[in-house]
């Protein structure tokens, strides 16, 4: 009898037995199993995982067998990893839900999500990452393809992109004379210089910006970026604090935030702008308790004089920034923040991407994120709906040259009322 193969789902190992291991079920399963061919092995792997693990056992009423057949031909005709991934995502797109996507090693999201799901993937990561450590060569920025062109949507404080002068809104035209790619442009170039051609204004000539890639550890990078994003903006004699949470996929980010507010750069601020735009979710609803001033804060001081706060509360005015990249657990925070009237929610409607997902490292090392649980907040589904801001401020990031009208509006609101 062949030993079962294992697929990691959350913290659980789910056995997927081979046909020889379950002879009594072979005849029943064969009608629903697509023909496995060597050149479609990964495609069939994705098809089966969705069939067996997707949160809706009825698969949204779709004929999953027929859809598998429909998109398999495109997958078979694909010549590159990007084309094969696109075919898989066309199949996944039939489900019409968030937290369901295929990623390759040529995308920064692949590494960020592999790190976020490092615990459930702990037995598979050493097979696909040198030294068992998730990292990639990069310069520390978020980019988004808009109209077929890559634009910078954020740079991480203190990392090469920001240090070299790259601004949000910049169009990255090329890297060392070749089309820009999130990973390929910096792969194998640690410690070397890469020349980016950047267009800052739509009608402007390009300018050369030289960057030196470094190893990016996603978790450490997001935590450091949160801490280093904190700054004071002085307006009308008031000190408005600002901090950005790039990822909320772990309690360490909330701990870092509370440290910044209670004893760090923002402890003496008169008000706070809490930026939850873009990046990754994962936030727990309890994080909102720091804005509930009715709760107690316990201070524990040891003999060395170090004080730790339990149940920290921010009792000053606060505004939240959101946009179409605010997703998942961050949307839960936006919903609760708005519902409880903790402050103004400034920006654009959130992504409407609230399902519980998990990760699967596939046999070729690519990554599948799959929605495995439905989600509702106070009985309300935000999936496909999102959270509307209380103050809407549209923002087209293209060629913004570092300007940020959403942040400017939030600061003005707090300066007038703080």
| pLDDT score of 298 | 73
Note the pLDDT tens digit of each residue in 312-369: 889 999 999 999 999 999 999 999 999 999 999 999 999 999 999 999 999 999 999 9
Compute the mean pLDDT over every residue in the chain, rounded to the nearest whole number: 89
Q: Is residue 406 scored above 80 in pLDDT?
A: yes
Which one is the CATH code of 5-116: 1.10.3470, 3.30.750, 4.10.860, 3.30.110?
A: 3.30.750
Q: What single string gives the DSSP state of each residue in 152-173? A: EEEE-TTSHHHHTT--TT-EEE
Report the range of poorest mean pLDDT among 33-37, 77-81, 210-214.
33-37
Which residues have a Cβ under 8 Å from the Cβ of 202 and sit 6 or more positions away? 398, 399
- Under the banding of pLDDT at 50, 70 and 90, the label for residue 34 is very low
User: What percentage of the chain exceeds 70 in pLDDT?
Assistant: 89
- Under the banding of pLDDT at 50, 70 and 90, the label for residue 306 is low
Q: Is residue 131 scored above 70 in pLDDT?
A: yes
Which residues, listed in sequence order, are joined to residue 145 by a DSSP beta bridge? 150
Note the pLDDT tens digit of each residue in 138-152: 999 999 999 999 999
Report the range of poorest mean pLDDT among 5-9, 254-258, 306-310, 318-322.
5-9
Sign of the alpha-carbon torsion through 410, 416, 417, 418:
positive
Say how far apart CA 404 and CA 395 lie, in whole Å: 8
- Under the banding of pLDDT at 50, 70 and 90, the label for residue 418 is low
Which one is the CATH code of 138-215: 2.30.42.10, 3.30.460.80, 3.30.1490.20, 2.40.170.20?
A: 2.30.42.10
Alpha helices in 168-242 (DSSP H): 218-229
- Under the banding of pLDDT at 50, 70 and 90, the label for residue 30 is very low
Which residues have a Cβ under 8 Å from the Cβ of 336 and sit 6 or more positions away? 285, 288, 377
Q: Is residue 103 scored above 50 in pLDDT?
A: yes
Say how far apart CA 275 and CA 194 lie, in whole Å: 30
C-alpha of 205 from chain center? 32
DSSP-derived pairing of the beta strands 356-361 and 367-373: antiparallel
Say how far apart CA 209 and CA 198 lie, in whole Å: 7
16-25 mean pLDDT: 31
Range(s) of the chain covered by CATH 3.30.750: 5-116
| pLDDT score of 11 | 33
176-180 mean pLDDT: 97
Please state, as a whole number, how many other Cβ atoms lie within 10 Å of the Cβ of residue 314.
22
- N-terminal to C-terminal alpha carbon distance within the chain: 70
What top-level class would CATH report for the domain 218-351+386-417? alpha beta
- Under the banding of pLDDT at 50, 70 and 90, the label for residue 27 is very low
Range(s) of the chain covered by CATH 2.30.42.10: 138-215
- Under the banding of pLDDT at 50, 70 and 90, the label for residue 304 is confident
Judge whether 64 and 51 are in contact, CB under 8 Å: yes
CB burial of 283-301 (b: ≥16 within 10 Å; e: otherwise) equals beeebbebbeeeeeeeeee
pTM: 0.87
User: Angle at CA 132, nearest 5°, toward 130 and 135?
Assistant: 70
Report the range of poorest mean pLDDT among 5-19, 55-69, 222-236, 324-338.
5-19
Range(s) of the chain covered by CATH 3.90.226.10: 218-351+386-417
């Amino acid at each position: 009898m062949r030993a079962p193969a294992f697929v990691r789902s959350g913290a659980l190992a789910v056995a997927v037995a081979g046909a020889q291991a379950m002879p009594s079920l072979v005849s029943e399963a064969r009608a629903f199993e697509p023909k496995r061919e060597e050149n479609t092995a990964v495609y069939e792997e994705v098809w089966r995982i969705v069939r067996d693990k997707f949160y809706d056992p009825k698969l949204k009423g779709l004929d999953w067998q027929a859809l598998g057949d429909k998109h398999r031909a495109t997958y078979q005709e694909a010549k590159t990893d990007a084309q094969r991934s696109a075919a898989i995502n066309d199949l996944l797109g039939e489900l019409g839900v968030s937290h369901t996507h295929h990623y390759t090693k040529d995308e920064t999201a692949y590494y960020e999500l592999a790190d976020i799901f490092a615990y459930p993937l702990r037995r598979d990561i050493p097979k696909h990452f040198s030294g068992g450590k998730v990292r990639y060569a990069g310069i520390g920025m978020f980019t988004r393809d808009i109209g077929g062109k890559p634009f910078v949507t954020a740079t991480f404080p203190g990392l090469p992109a920001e240090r070299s002068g790259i601004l949000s809104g910049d169009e990255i035209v090329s890297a060392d004379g070749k089309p820009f790619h999130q990973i390929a442009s910096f792969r194998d170039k640690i410690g070397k210089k890469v020349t980016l051609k950047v267009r800052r204004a739509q009608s402007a000539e390009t300018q050369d910006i030289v960057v030196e890639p470094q190893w990016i550890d996603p978790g450490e990078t997001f935590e450091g970026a949160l801490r280093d994003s904190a700054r004071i903006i002085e307006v009308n004699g008031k000190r408005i604090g600002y901090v950005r949470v790039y990822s909320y996929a772990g309690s360490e980010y909330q701990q870092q935030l509370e440290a910044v507010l209670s004893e760090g750069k923002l402890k003496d601020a008169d008000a706070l702008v809490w930026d939850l735009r873009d990046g990754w979710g994962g936030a727990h609803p309890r994080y909102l308790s720091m804005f509930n001033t009715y709760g107690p804060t316990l201070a524990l001081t040891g003999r060395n004089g170090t004080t730790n706060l339990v149940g920290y509360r921010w009792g000053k005015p606060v505004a939240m920034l959101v946009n179409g990249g605010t997703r998942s657990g961050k949307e839960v925070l936006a919903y609760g923040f708005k519902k409880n009237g903790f402050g103004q929610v400034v920006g654009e409607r959130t992504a409407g991407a609230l399902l519980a997902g998990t990760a699967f490292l596939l046999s070729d090392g690519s990554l599948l994120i799959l929605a495995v649980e439905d989600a509702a907040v106070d009985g309300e589904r935000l999936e496909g709906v999102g959270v509307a801001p209380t103050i809407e401020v549209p923002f087209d990031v293209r060629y913004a040259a570092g300007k940020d009208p959403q942040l400017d509006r939030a600061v003005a609101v707090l300066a007038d009322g703080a």
